[in-house]
Amino acid sequence: MSINTDALNHVYEIFSKGNLDELDAYVTDDFVEHDDLMGMPQNKEGVKQFFKMFRSAFPDLTMRATHILEDGDLLAARFEAHGTHTGDFMGVAPTGRSFTVSGFDLLRASDGRASEHWGAFDTVAMCQQLEIDPARLMPQSG
């Protein structure tokens, strides 16, 4: 299976349903995550850990692509994510509130699977909708 529009839509389904072991078919063993995973390893296992933690806080998480572009070995997507905060999230007790925000993914493919990822997620908008101070989720310096 190669990383393309259909495969990326299935990856969003994997995240939405929590079937994280299925991710192995879509990412290389030496996958590199270029985004901060809130202290988790920036590799395939770290992505799984991150989404396990995120789904624990937002068990009804859904993600869907709204736009996808393919160009050579690159795949870019704008997505929408929705979830309800019913579990602990990084030390923040459940609020019972929901969020709907957009994000962006850029993937590089190698041998038909994702080998690198860069992305953006509107954490500030999510926090505003959940009525959480975004500073509570940011790493503290010092």
Interval 47-102: pLDDT, tens: 999 999 999 999 999 999 999 999 989 999 999 999 999 999 988 999 999 999 99
Q: Could you tell me if residue 76 is inside a domain?
A: yes
pLDDT digits (tens, 9 = 90+) for 22-41: 999 999 999 999 998 888 99
| Residue 61 belongs to domain spanning | 5-136
Please work out, in degrees rounded to the nearest 5, the angle formed at the alpha carbon of residue 126 by the alpha carbons of 138 and 62: 120
Amino acid 112: pLDDT: 86
- 142 pLDDT above the threshold of 50: no
Amino acid 3: pLDDT: 67
Q: Could you tell me if residue 142 is inside a domain?
A: no
Amino acid 1: pLDDT: 43
What residues contact 100, with CB distance under 8 A and at least 6 apart? 80, 81, 82, 129
pTM for the model: 0.88
5: which 2 tokens? 């529009």
Q: How many domains does the chain have?
A: 1
- Residue 43's CATH number: 3.10.450.50
Q: Confidence band (pLDDT; 50, 70, 90) for 116? A: very high
Q: Could you tell me if residue 63 is inside a domain?
A: yes
- 139 pLDDT above the threshold of 70: no
Q: Could you tell me if residue 16 is inside a domain?
A: yes
- 141 pLDDT above the threshold of 90: no
What residues contact 67, with CB distance under 8 A and at least 6 apart? 77, 78
Q: Could you tell me if residue 141 is inside a domain?
A: no
Q: Confidence band (pLDDT; 50, 70, 90) for 125? A: very high
Q: Could you tell me if residue 46 is inside a domain?
A: yes
